[in-house]
């Protein structure tokens, strides 16, 4: 936890979003692990954390500066939240995995945009 606090304190705005993606992926991976072990995802803290991070990411979008990319990200985040809710409700490990893959793709693209 201390390492994360240090990383947050020293991160640029771009880096902070990257940290959110890392925590989101970690939460989704832990939720997937739980699902594969047969655990019920209703009330799962990892799913709840993932949804909270998606809300934070969506709230951080700069629609004025982001143009069409901002609108696209907002739609993706919304779809991921809905996907997590569906996965939880229907005990659908495949849907959870699809959300994880989508976020992974966005995170890798975000990393590629790292400012110099």
What is d(CA 60, CA 85) in angstroms, rounded to the nearest whole number? Answer: 21
Total-model pTM: 0.87
Task: Categorize the per-residue pLDDT at 7 as very low, low, confident or very high, splitting at 50, 70 and 90.
Answer: low
List pLDDT tens digits, range 8-41. Answer: 455 576 778 888 999 999 999 999 999 999 998 8
Distance (Å, rounded) from C-alpha 63 to C-alpha 66?
Answer: 5
Write phi, then psi, for 5 (nearest 5 degrees).
-60, -45
pLDDT band at 57 (very low <50, low <70, confident <90, very high): very high
pLDDT tens digits for range 76-98: 999 999 999 999 999 899 999 99
């Amino acid at each position: 936890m201390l390492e994360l606090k240090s990383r947050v304190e020293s991160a640029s705005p771009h880096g902070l979003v990257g940290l959110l993606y890392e925590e989101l992926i970690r939460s989704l991976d832990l939720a997937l692990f739980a699902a594969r072990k047969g655990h019920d995802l209703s009330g799962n803290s990892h799913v709840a954390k993932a949804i909270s991070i998606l809300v934070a990411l969506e709230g951080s979008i700069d629609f004025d500066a982001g143009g069409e990319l901002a609108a696209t990200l907002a739609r993706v985040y919304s779809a991921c939240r809905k996907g997590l809710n569906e996965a939880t409700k229907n005990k659908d490990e495949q849907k959870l995995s699809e959300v994880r893959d989508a976020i992974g793709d966005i995170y890798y693209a975000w990393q590629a945009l790292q400012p110099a």
